[in-house]
Structure 1
Amino acid sequence: MTTVLSVEGVHKVFGDRHVLRGISVDVDDHQVVALIGASGSGKSTLLRCINLLEPVDDGVIRLDGADITDPRADPDRVRRRIGIVFQAYNLFPHMSVLANVTLAPVHVHRVPAAQARAKALELLARIGLADLAGAYPDRLSGGQQQRVAIVRALMNSPRLLLLDEVTSALDPELVGEVLALIRDLRAEGMTMLLATHEMGFARQVADRVCFLDGGTLVEQGPPEQVLGDPQEPRTRQFLARIIESGRL
């Protein structure tokens, strides 16, 4: 199986905070890997390093075998191949859904406007939002806005999709529609690395689960092993608290 993403011994330091401590993880083609752990464990920082939004202090990140942390790597070219969706939708309020989705392809990546529009309408139709292409974000529910943000990340047909707690800002009744879209992407073979607090969803959709704690990768393996029969005491402690809160 082809390895799409390889993170090798990555460290990240902010001032006196050592946020990532030698993280190593691989994501293979068509695989979904879920990052779990408490807030502050390093999940979001790892995703930001992979998308070159934060420089690493040590270690190497490879995309399809190429070292994207090499200073000579072009961040814009790398980001065309890696889509990322954040907790906040980050849609421009003064622009329509269609304009939000086509902005980067047209103005950054120089895709012809008609081509970008056609692809955007096709993707919006697939998630049932084609009729809202001309609407502004304030007319959309949180779940709809997050689905639009995912469509925006898919516009460049990314090799890898990064999802950073994409349901955490949603009301509980809106979470399901976003998770359903991610399930559809998995079924279509999208390669994904996602940080999530949704343990039940991680169990359903992930091929592998990685538990981070204090910037270290404590344990990783199939969902049934990590979530059902964890080997490390810290993993067991974390999951016990999740179970107590009714989230697993």
Structure 2
Amino acid sequence: MLLTCTEVRKTFGDAVVLDGLDLTVDEHEVIALIGASGSGKSTLLRCVNLLTEIDDGTIMLDGEDITDPRVNPDVVRRKIGLVFQSYNLFPHMTVLDNITLAPTKVRQRPAAEAKAQAMEWLDRVGLADKAGSYPDRLSGGQQQRVAIVRALVNSPRLLLLDEVTSALDPELVGEVLTMIRDLKGDGMTMVLATHEMGFARQVADRVAFLDKGRVLEQGPPAQVLGDPVEARTRQFLARIIEAGRL
């Protein structure tokens, strides 16, 4: 098991965001987290990447308790890539500089090696010609693909994707989803929070429905999205269908 979350709890003031959540992720597995806003999807991803400290429970990565206070979070984050919905590219740096910053400054890799790897990825996702461009010269879909490449050049064991298409115009969503589908084909282990139910059905090995900070229901996409067991899951999906998003 690559990732194991056990009884994870997180509160912000009086608000319980994660309430004893349990989740496991096998190597090479793609898990889609679905649920209403406030159900805990984004908070869970931030806890796994140690950007948010949990209040109770454990998170194990490769058999190591990464929530142990003695663990160096920077070392853990070298194994985990996290991509946000808002891209978070440095506007004053070119695409190539954005991608090579962490490999050269944090991981101390030779600049030439980091550049060569960055260009390989950019070529693969059809953005090699944008290496010298600044983020404001790119479309939203292009910026998001660059953000994903920036996470991938560190060769993460686990890739976390937090609503990576929600800030995009509808016509740009497809190019990002194609990239994620290709990563699945490569065997990348991914946990993605998404509102794209059709995509979750296509790419996920397992769908986990979060409600009130817990995994209420999980299973193969065809079962969870097509024939859910829990009444709350059925209610959520009915609203998604009503909005034309399934």
Report the TM-score, using the length of structure 1 for normalisation: 0.98
- 2:15 equivalent in structure 1: 17
C-alpha displacement at 1:62, in angstroms?
0.5
- 2:132 equivalent in structure 1: 134
- 2:166 equivalent in structure 1: 168
- 1:40 equivalent in structure 2: 38
CA deviation vs aligned residue, 1:41-98 (integer Å, no higher than 9, x gap): 1000000000000011000000011100001111111000000000100011110000
Query: Percentage identity across aligned positions?
Result: 74
Alpha-carbon distance in 2 for matches of 1:195, 1:173: 20
Q: Which of 41, 60, 63 is the aligned partner of 1:62?
A: 60
- 1:153 equivalent in structure 2: 151
- 1:119 equivalent in structure 2: 117
C-alpha displacement at 1:168, in angstroms?
0.2
- SS of match in other structure, 1:53: coil
- 1:105 equivalent in structure 2: 103
- 2:74 equivalent in structure 1: 76
Corresponding position: 1:177 with 2:175: yes
- 1:221 equivalent in structure 2: 219
C-alpha displacement at 1:24, in angstroms?
0.6
Alpha-carbon distance in 2 for matches of 1:140, 1:156: 23
Check whether the contact 2:89–2:98 (CA below 8 A) recurs between aligned residues.
Answer: yes
Alpha-carbon distance in 2 for matches of 1:163, 1:22: 22
C-alpha displacement at 1:189, in angstroms?
0.3
C-alpha displacement at 1:216, in angstroms?
1.5
Structure 1 stretches of 4+ moved >4 Å: none
Alpha-carbon RMSD: 0.5
Alpha-carbon distance in 1 for matches of 2:104, 2:86: 23
Which residue identity is paired with 2:202?
Q
Report the TM-score, using the length of structure 2 for normalisation: 0.99
Alpha-carbon distance in 1 for matches of 2:110, 2:3: 30
Aligned residues: 246
Which segments of 5 or more consecutive residues in structure 2 lack a partner in the other structure? Answer: none
Alpha-carbon distance in 2 for matches of 1:175, 1:87: 12
C-alpha displacement at 1:213, in angstroms?
1.1
C-alpha displacement at 1:204, in angstroms?
0.3
